[in-house]
């Protein structure tokens, strides 16, 4: 028997549907029947070859939901709960962090561990079914798999996707205090996640700058108090509006989720003195930008932090919040359109052109 998978064979080449062998499970492995996987901005970058060290051909899809088909010697999930065939699960896409290197042991930054692998990004299709754009997903021994908390659905998880977890991580990194004013730059999946969790964490005011209009509607639905259209306003108009909202001081916290270097000076400009700025949107290198170290950083006493990817606790806690506050977090609405494996190329084009906020791959 074979398993169908959508494969990016090389940068710039449209995805191909391959037949791959149905795997035999080693001890400790879990095989999933894919329920849904996501198409995110990273997949568009992978398609264009903008990430370093990607072992093409790859099966994309780093955040996925599946149903357990088979588990070899695995009876509990990563949280210690029973795991059995038929359970609907998700898993932490990062694997093979060594817990033995300098980054893991001394710096305690496992997200910089050189052994770190990511499903759908840094595993090759020749290594197995290690991405979500496939009928089945092979979870190697030690992959952190866990059952979706009730009443979270596959659409909730994939509608939020990796942006849900990155948004959660960015808010946590900002150390946002209750009552703080927050600016989220960008209304893509990371910006939507950041806006939603800022509101849940108790922000006094959440402002989102983004485009196009349907994404601003989603931002409002997820907790933004004010949504400003990026391309229908000038930087001066945006600054005027935000200064008016903050008594002329600027926001306490700004979270960048745009991937556009031009957002950085604007974000610093709108930050109050002593405020915190988290940069979470630059997963690929989009080039430098000019800053004024005196006015933007030193005199401003700005606290600037980067957020690289997510850790397992972000995923678990974000989904726990989604389970508890499902009414306030309609991420299933963000999951706008479903695509089969043969339509993966169209899904990438639709995401890149911002025709959809989150595309689902449903094999
Ligand atoms: Zn390590
Ligand atoms: Zn992603």
Q: What is the pLDDT of residue 333?
A: 87
- For residue 199 the two structure tokens come to 């509101």
Percent pLDDT > 90 in the chain is 95
Average pLDDT for the chain: 96
pLDDT band at residue 335 using 50, 70 and 90 as cut-offs: confident
Q: Residue 300 C-alpha to ligand 2 middle, in angstroms?
A: 33
Token pair 């599946």 in the structure block, residue: 66
Buried b (16+ CB within 10 A) or exposed e, 289-324: eeeeeeebeeebebebeebebbbbebbbbbbebbee
Q: Residue 355 C-alpha to ligand 1 middle, in angstroms?
A: 39
Distances (CA, A) of 159 to 186, 189, 320, 322, 327: 17, 8, 15, 11, 14
Question: Does the pLDDT value for residue 89 go beyond 90?
Answer: yes
Distances (CA, A) of 297 to 54, 66, 188, 229, 291: 35, 45, 27, 27, 9
Among the bound ligands, the one closest to the CA of 117: 1
Question: Does the pLDDT value for residue 99 go beyond 90?
Answer: yes
Q: Residue 62 C-alpha to ligand 2 middle, in angstroms?
A: 6
Compare 1 and 102 and report the one with higher pLDDT.
102
Q: What is the pLDDT of residue 309?
A: 87
pLDDT band at residue 108 using 50, 70 and 90 as cut-offs: very high
Q: What is the pLDDT of residue 241?
A: 98
Distances (CA, A) of 65 to 25, 93, 146, 319: 19, 11, 10, 12
Percent pLDDT > 70 in the chain is 100
Q: Residue 112 C-alpha to ligand 1 middle, in angstroms?
A: 7
Among the bound ligands, the one closest to the CA of 42: 2
Question: Does the pLDDT value for residue 111 go beyond 90?
Answer: no
Residues with CB under 5 A from ligand 2 (ion): 40, 42, 162
Query: Is 342:4 a contact under the CB 8 Å cutoff?
Result: no
Question: Does the pLDDT value for residue 283 go beyond 90?
Answer: no
Global pTM?
Answer: 0.95
Among the bound ligands, the one closest to the CA of 109: 1
For residue range 150-192, list pLDDT tens digits in order: 999 999 999 999 999 999 999 999 999 999 999 999 999 999 9
How far is the C-alpha of 55 from the C-alpha of 59, rounded, in Å? Answer: 10
For residue range 215-237, list pLDDT tens digits in order: 999 999 999 999 999 999 999 99
Q: What is the pLDDT of residue 74?
A: 97
């Amino acid at each position: 028997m074979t398993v169908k998978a959508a494969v990016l064979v090389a940068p710039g080449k449209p995805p191909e549907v391959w037949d791959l062998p149905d795997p035999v499970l080693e001890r400790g492995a879990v095989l999933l029947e894919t329920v849904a996987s996501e198409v995110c901005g990273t997949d568009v970058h992978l398609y264009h070859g903008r990430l370093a060290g990607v072992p093409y051909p790859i099966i994309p899809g780093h955040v996925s939901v599946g149903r357990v088909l088979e588990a070899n010697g695995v009876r509990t999930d990563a949280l210690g709960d029973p795991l059995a065939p038929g359970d609907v699960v998700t898993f932490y896409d990062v694997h093979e962090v060594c817990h033995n290197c300098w980054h893991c042991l001394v710096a305690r930054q496992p997200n910089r561990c050189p052994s770190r692998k990511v499903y759908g990004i840094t595993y090759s299709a020749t290594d197995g079914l290690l991405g979500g754009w496939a009928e089945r997903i092979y979870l190697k021994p030690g992959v952190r798999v866990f059952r979706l908390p009730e009443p979270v659905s596959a659409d909730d998880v994939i509608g939020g996707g990796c942006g849900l977890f990155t948004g959660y991580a960015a808010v946590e990194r900002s150390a946002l205090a209750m009552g703080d004013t927050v600016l989220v730059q960008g209304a893509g999946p990371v910006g939507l996640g950041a806006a939603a969790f800022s509101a849940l964490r108790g922000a006094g005011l959440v402002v989102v700058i983004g485009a196009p209009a349907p994404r601003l509607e989603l931002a409002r639905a997820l907790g933004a108090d004010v949504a400003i259209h990026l391309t229908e306003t000038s930087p001066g108009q945006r600054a005027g509006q935000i200064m008016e909202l903050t008594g002329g001081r600027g926001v306490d916290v700004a979270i960048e989720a745009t991937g556009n270097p031009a957002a950085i000076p604007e974000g610093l400009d709108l930050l109050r003195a002593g405020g915190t700025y988290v940069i979470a949107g630059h997963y690929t290198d989009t080039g430098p930008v000019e800053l004024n170290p005196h006015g933007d950083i030193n005199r401003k006493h700005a606290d600037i932090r980067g957020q690289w990817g997510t850790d397992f606790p972000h995923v678990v806690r974000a989904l726990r919040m989604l389970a508890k506050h499902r009414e306030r977090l309609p991420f299933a609405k963000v999951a706008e359109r479903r695509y089969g494996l043969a339509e993966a190329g169209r899904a990438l084009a639709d995401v890149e052109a911002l025709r959809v906020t989150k595309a689902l791959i449903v094999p």
